């Protein structure tokens, strides 16, 4: 499972590079046809990983409760996300995976509660949860690509 966590790092780093050229207003803008924005998707990737791995195992999250509440599944952008908040999320993008790897190695996920995702995937253990993360990250990576195209295409 350690390799699976390591594999998640590269697409996350690539995604951060992809949005580097976007200003804070574009990151916050909800493009036509979408119900969220790039900034929310970034935060959601972090929050969802915390919920899938830590909350389901009955463990405290490695992010603040406030951040989780803003980006948890079922949430939507509620406010303008500042540059400071974006910077925090960018840092958490990889730091949470590093922490997950450490916590996994230490065997902290022994009390994982099985559940079925909204996509019909049964998650029975932390190993299943970690295996699910690339699907979830990839889904939101795709949304971000589409939103970026919609925003930049409008500017051309």
Contact 24, 82 (CB under 8 A): yes
Q: Tell me, what's the pLDDT at 109?
A: 97
Residue 52 CB coordination number (10 Å):
21
Q: Tell me, what's the pLDDT at 1?
A: 74
Contact 140, 14 (CB under 8 A): no
Q: β-strands 115-116, 122-123: how paired?
A: antiparallel
Q: Tell me, what's the pLDDT at 156?
A: 45
| CATH number belonging to the domain at 2-155, selected among 1.20.120.450, 3.30.70.20, 1.10.132.10, 1.20.5.510 | 1.20.120.450
pLDDT tens sequence across 25-53: 999 999 999 999 999 999 999 999 999 99
C-alpha closest to that of 51 among 105, 134, 126, 148: 126
In the chain, what are the domain boundaries? 2-155
Contact 134, 39 (CB under 8 A): no
Low-confidence stretches of the chain (pLDDT < 70) are 154-156
Q: Tell me, what's the pLDDT at 152?
A: 93
The whole-model pTM stands at 0.94
């Amino acid at each position: 499972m350690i390799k699976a966590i390591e594999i998640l790092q590269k697409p996350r780093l690539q995604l951060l590079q992809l949005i580097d050229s976007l200003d804070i207003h574009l990151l916050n803008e909800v493009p036509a046809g979408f119900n969220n924005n790039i900034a929310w998707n970034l935060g959601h990737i972090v929050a969802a990983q915390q919920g899938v791995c830590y909350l389901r195992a009955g463990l405290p999250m490695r992010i603040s409760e406030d951040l989780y509440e803003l980006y948890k599944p079922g949430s939507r952008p509620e406010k303008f996300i500042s540059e400071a908040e974006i910077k925090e999320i960018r840092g958490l993008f990889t730091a949470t995976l590093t922490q997950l790897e450490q916590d996994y190695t230490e065997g902290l996920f022994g009390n994982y509660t099985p559940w079925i995702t909204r996509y019909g995937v049964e998650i029975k253990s932390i190993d299943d949860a970690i295996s699910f993360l690339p699907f979830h990250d990839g889904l939101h990576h795709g949304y971000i690509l589409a939103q970026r195209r919609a925003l930049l295409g409008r500017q051309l």
